[in-house]
Amino acid sequence: MSKAKNIGTRAETAVRNYLLSVGYDPLQAHRNVLKGTADEGDVWLREVAGLIVFEIKGGKMAKEASYGQVQKWLEETETERKNANARLGFLVTQRAGVGYPRAGEWWAYAKLGDLNYLHTHGDSSNDTIVRLTLADLVKLIRHG
């Protein structure tokens, strides 16, 4: 396995393990297999709100990502959300100084409209980007 693939696998597994640690079962939270150009996200979460896709980035690139890089990854996340026919898609990036066992402290990027949808099931059209921890995002997903 290449170094990059190993970093990705470890990061995806860390996010999935975090979801399992907060009460999701393996049928609700699972890692996906790669599908080439029709990739459907790295981790899926089946929730009341519908299918949620997480695009996960780990390693040095994620820890040092510029805003421009985050925007590119968010575009990738949106493409993969559409490929999976998911309701929501979120980007999760590893943070500098925060290892795999503490994935709940990694950054999650979301559109403000998607967060509004989680909270009120209202308008989801606001594309303003918001950064919060994965733990805080999961609280919003679970409790609205």
> How far from the centroid of its chain's Cα atoms is residue 47's Cα?
14
The vertex-64 CA angle with 36 and 133, nearest 5°, equals 80
What is the average pLDDT score of the chain?
91
* Amino acid letter for position 100: Y
- Give 34's pLDDT tier (boundaries 50, 70, 90): low
- Give 37's pLDDT tier (boundaries 50, 70, 90): low
* 50-57 and 88-93 strand pairing: parallel
Mean pLDDT over 57-81 rounds to 96
